[in-house]
Every structure is written in C-alpha cells, then in structure tokens.
Amino acid sequence: MIQNYITQNANRYASKWLVLIIDIISSCIAFVLAYCIRFNLSFDFDVEKLYIQLPVVAIISAIAFLIVGSYKGVVRHTGVRDVYNVFNAVCLSSIIMIAVVLINKEFGFFPDFTIFLSIIIIYSLLAFIGLTASRYMFKALYNSYAIRDLKVNKNVLIYGAGESGILTHNALTNHSKSRARVVGYIDNDNQKAGKQINGVKVYHNNVLTKDFLTNKNISEVIFSIQNIAPKKLRSLVEGLVELPVQVKIVPPVEDWINGELRASQIKQVQIEDLLDRAPISIKNEKIEKEFLNKTILVTGGAGSIGSEIVRQICQYDYKSLIIIDQAESALYDLQQELKQNGYHNFIPIVGDIRDKNRLNAIFQEHKPNMVFHSAAYKHVPLMEYNSYEAIKINIGGTKTVADLSISHKVEKFVFISTDKAVNPTNVMGATKRIAEMYISCMEQQKKTKFITTRFGNVLGSNGSVIPLFRKQIEKGGPLTLTHKDVTRYFMTIPEASQLVLEAGVMGDGGEIFIFDMGESVKIFDLAKNMIKLSGLSYPEDIDIKITGLRPGEKLYEELLANGENTLPTYHRKIKISKVRELDYAAVRSKIDELCITNMFFSGNAVKLMKGIVPEYVSSNSELCELDDRRTSSDDDKPTLKVVQS
C-alpha cells in the first residue's frame, strides 16, 4: 500500500505548508518527550502545564521555521544544506524560548508560565534529531520504492571518489528519471580503496577488467575528475574503449547549472576530450590593448575559423567590427548569435573578396585598422579539379585584400594559412603557399605590417574528418579512411583562433608564425576510438573502409618546408619560421601573370603555379603529368636563398 502510494505520486512534491505543519507537530512531540526524559521516562509532572506551554512552543517553532525557511526544502532531495537549515531553525526556536522564559520571569507577565532550561535543552536535541531523521526517513522510502519502480536498467561506475565523484553520485540518485544505479567508485588512492561513501564501495582502479565489469554487469563508466589533463584522460579512456562499457564524462564545474550538477549534463566522452589541447583563456591583456578603439575587418567571418575569431574579438573593447562573407545564411546565423549574446557593435556585410570595387567601397567607408583574412577555399579534393576557383579566391582574393590594405593604410594584415602550404602536393596547398609569398612581397613596401599564421587541421571545422566520422557513425557506417597510415595534427577552433589573435598582436611584419600542434594523430586509431566511444564495437558494429588517398592528399602534414626552421617567441605555442627569402620582384610578376592567365580559364595556370612554387609536386592526381614535363632547363623558377625572417 505504501509502495503504491509513493510510486503513484513519485512526480509530485509535498506542499511546503504541509512540511511546515508536520515540522511544528514534530517539535511539539519533541517537547513532550523532553519532559518525559527529564522526569525519568514518566509523567510524574504537572501535565496540565503542557496545555499552556505547547501552544507557545508551536508558535515559537513556527516563527523560527518561517524565518529560517527550513520547510522549503524538497524532502526527497534532503542534503547537508537542509540539515544545516533545520539546525539553525531549532537553535533559533530554543533561543526565542529561553528569551521568552527569562523576560516573563523578570517582568512577571504570566506568573504561572515557566519552562525549565533543562527541558529546553533536551527539547532542542530531540527536535533536531526528529526533524532530520524524518526527512531522511522519507527520502529513504522514496528511494526504496519510487526509484525501484523505475526499473534500474544500467549499473554505473564513477571514476573518481573525490568531491566531484560524490556530487555525480548525488546527481544520478536524485534525478527523478534516472534509471542508473551506482555500483561503486573507482580511485587510484590506496587509502580510499575498500572503504564506502554513502554506502557505495570504493574500488582501486586496478580492478577495471573485463571480468569485473561482466560480473558487476557494468554498462557505463563516468569520469568525474575535475581539471584532469587531456593526456591522462586519453590514457585512462583508451584502457576502457576495448571493454564492453560506455564511457562518459562530467563537465567542468564552471559549466554546471547554477553551481549544481545535473544528470543531463553527463555526456558521452568526445574524441575532442582526448586530444592533448590545453584550455585557453579568451581574455588577454596584450590583445585587449591592441584592439582598443580599433576598427577590425574579418574576411570569411562566417566560416568555422573566421566566426570564432569574430566571437573572440567581440570580448574586447574595439571601435567597430566588420564581418565579410559571401555565405548569406551562415552570416545571418552568426549575426543572430552575436545579437543574442548582447553584442551590437558589429557590421555583417555580404560580399565577395574577388570583387575589388565592392571591397574598396567597404575599406573607404569603414577605414579598418586591422584585417584578419580567413576567407579561402580549403577542401583539397574539390580544389584539385577546380583550380580556377582556388586561384581566384585563395590567390586573387588575397591579393585584392592585401592591395587594398596598403592603399587604405591598414596597420596590420593577418593572413591565415595552412600546413598544406608546406611542400604542397595539391592545388589548394599551392594556392595558399603562393598567397603566403604574395604577402611577403607586400611586406617589402613597409606600409602595412603583413603577418602570416600557419597551422594544421582544426577540430570541428568545415571539412574536418571528425564531423564526417560522426555522420557516418550515425548512419551505421562504414567509416571511410583514405589510408591506414595517414596522420594529422589537430587543434580546437577556439585555440587556433586565439593563437591567430596572439600572433597578430606580437607580429611586427614579415613573420610566418607556426603554431604548436602537439603530437600528430593516426587517423585510423582516431576512427576506432570514435566508434568505441559511441558505444559500438569495431569491426562488428561499424567497420572502417580504406578508400585510397584522394587526389592531392598527403600521408602526413608538415609545418615547415625544406630549409625552414623556427625561432621561439614569448608564447610557448607560437614560433617564428625562419623562411627563405624570395626574389620579390620576380615572384610578384609571376603571381600577376598567374592571376591574368587564370582569368582566361587557361590550362597553363597550374603549370605556372608549379613554376612559382618549385616544391609543388602533385600527388595521386591527373596534374602529376605536369611534373613529368618539367625539366631542369625551366628558367621560370624564382631565385631562392635561405635567410632568417
């Protein structure tokens, strides 16, 4: 009967006024019991005095409970804070009671009314014990019957027996719709192993074996360790992905809702959590000083990198932010996002960087002090057979923006390049390298400070392999991989954008800044981990299909070209490339010729690119035949000599 009543009303909450009435009645019962204890568990006292004293006790208790608000807590979720409130309410009622007795004794308002101080002290203890016990008793009943009725369908281990682990346990057990049962904690602290926390056993992490998980019927392991290093998390998770469990993680404390962890916030471990990328701090004093009262223009501002650069610039006290992109829908979405976040001092402009007249009008109207140029085509296989567009945007567009920056006396121009520009094997990489070279030519005029940043793949960006793998997993696979040995460097979008801003601030013009990308990641291993982190198994549930290298694709990426080296900067993740100096006049002439040739859809455009960038050798592409035709007698190659930038 009790079980049926509780389960039927599991989603209803008791009225706070009902809780107040029950608390007052409990206080009165505690007062009567105090008399019995005081007189040796008998009624050997003037019982008629209770008729006068009990109404006073009830009124004083009600006043104390109303002042403290101890009756407002949700009884089924009683915790330490609720017990603290009960303690405060009982202490306050005792103080008021003693004050009433002493005042009445001093002034004699009611000669027949008095309460022994020993009675009040005993009453305080009994009331505190009774009110606390009643709350935990109801909580235990609820947990025993109502939650049991939810039919627990998964057993969970919490990795981490610290404060965060205990809060995770509370979030799971207090969640009304949770069907998880915490079987134990896992911790590497020998002093904790074998003990219990809230009735849940703590195991040492060496018990995590397939047999242990099978015997305990564990289906989930939740990592609840705050500020854990990605490298350590990766090591721990990789030891679990081979086991038949799902791996989840508790978010950082700063992401908890109103300082409290909710069960709904515990999410599946993402592959991004395992890559060794340090968290960044958005606010930076050097960047803040550089951007103060400046007008900043961002091309490609609605793209994955460009939009994050915009978001981070919005954190600073700039004068005006001009966002240019030809993708209308993406730009509109960014505009709405910035408005919802309270940013208004920005101007979104739908425009094409190939349109010199349109860009010139924008420069004339807004007079930017800094330009961040991120607009580009970057999909390697597509650009391999669309060289006209790649040259027109990546080279011609960059040339247009750079020329206008000089004409309109822009202070700094920051160009966002890629590791694919190093020893390029594809059209996209070659166009970005030629754009880098043009930027170096413009720096020689010493009017605008031209700065180049170069980094690898960005997690979650358009064209990144991780979103592609996620879509393929959602569709049931297989995951398509070009080669089993292919490796890539990765960094997060916020980190890449932060480093772009940092490099823009520290640059004095002419530098190529190389970002520390950490360790290269084998894509085949990444794909297997993504499958397993999705709760599936490889190859039983989802297989990995090797499709062969795509046109222009490398097995591995490089951040430095032959003959290049790096110098350190004050920022440990940013280095300056010691690059090869160019014959600037010859290079600029060749780039002008390339842009003109490309306007006429000439098939010679790619051949000209190979002349400008001698290290550009096509890979796995129809354009390889152009390499075969090049001979040592070619005299159209620019002269190169190694110097330090």
Q: What is the DSSP string of 84-135?
A: HHHHHHHHHHHHHHHHHHHHHHHH-SSTT----HHHHHHHHHHHHHHHHHHH
Coil vs helix vs strand at 510 = coil
The residues spanned by each domain of the chain are: 2-146, 151-269, 285-462+490-516+558-629
* Nearest alpha carbon to residue 398 among 440, 337, 446, 347: 440
* CB distance 490 to 456 below 8 Å: yes
* Nearest alpha carbon to residue 139 among 177, 176, 89: 176
Q: Which residues contact 375 (CB under 8 A, 6 or more apart)?
A: 299, 300, 303, 306, 324, 325, 326, 353, 393, 397, 401
Strand partners for 454: 514
The better pLDDT of the pair 189, 408 is held by 408
Give 330's DSSP letter.
H
Q: What value does the mean pLDDT take over residues 140-167?
A: 73
Query: How are strands ordered across the β-sheet holding 295-299?
Result: 346-350, 320-325, 295-299, 370-373, 412-416, 449-454, 512-515, 574-578, 565-568
- 285-462+490-516+558-629 has the same fold as 151-269: yes
* CB distance 459 to 272 below 8 Å: yes
> Catalytic one among 139, 248, 378, 420?
420
Alpha-carbon distance of 372 to 414, in angstroms, equals 5
* CB distance 224 to 168 below 8 Å: yes
Helix axes 427-443, 584-599, angle to 10 degrees: 130
The better pLDDT of the pair 566, 6 is held by 566
Give the percent of the chain with pLDDT over 70: 84
Q: Which residues contact 18 (CB under 8 A, 6 or more apart)?
A: none
Among 21-30, 472-481, 554-563, the range scoring the smallest mean pLDDT is 554-563
> pLDDT tens digits, residue range 534-569?
777 788 888 999 988 877 777 766 665 555 566 667
pLDDT score for 474: 86
* Nearest alpha carbon to residue 411 among 353, 452, 367, 356: 367
What's the chain's average pLDDT? 81
* CB distance 533 to 525 below 8 Å: no
Asked if the model's pLDDT at residue 371 lies above 70, the reply is yes
Beta strands 218-223 and 512-515: pairing type? unpaired
* CB distance 417 to 454 below 8 Å: yes
pLDDT score for 307: 93
Asked if the model's pLDDT at residue 5 lies above 50, the reply is no
* CB distance 139 to 42 below 8 Å: no
Strand partners for 218: 155
Two tokens, residue 227? 């500020």
Asked if the model's pLDDT at residue 150 lies above 70, the reply is no
Asked if the model's pLDDT at residue 629 lies above 70, the reply is no
**Residue 281 identity (one-letter amino acid):** S
> pLDDT tens digits, residue range 226-279?
777 767 777 777 777 777 788 888 877 666 765 567 776 777 777 766 765 555
Q: Which residues contact 180 (CB under 8 A, 6 or more apart)?
A: 152, 154, 155, 156, 172, 220, 263
Q: Identify the top-confidence range among 18-32, 122-136, 389-403, 537-551.
A: 389-403
Asked if the model's pLDDT at residue 24 lies above 50, the reply is yes
Radius of gyration of the chain (CA): 35
> pLDDT tens digits, residue range 563-613?
556 666 767 677 777 666 778 889 999 999 999 888 877 678 888 999 999
Does CATH place domain 151-269 in 3.40.50.720?
yes
Angle, CA of 271, 276 and 281, to the nearest 5°: 105
Does CATH place domain 285-462+490-516+558-629 in 3.10.180.10?
no
- Dihedral, CA atoms, 579, 585, 586, 587, nearest 10 degrees? 50
* CB distance 380 to 553 below 8 Å: yes
Instruction: Give whole-number Cα distances, 512 to 402, 443, 455, in Å.
Output: 16, 12, 10
Active site residue 573: no
pLDDT bin (cut points 50, 70, 90) of residue 177 is low
pLDDT bin (cut points 50, 70, 90) of residue 143 is low
> pLDDT tens digits, residue range 411-442?
999 999 988 888 898 999 999 999 999 999 99
> pLDDT tens digits, residue range 61-77?
899 989 988 878 777 66
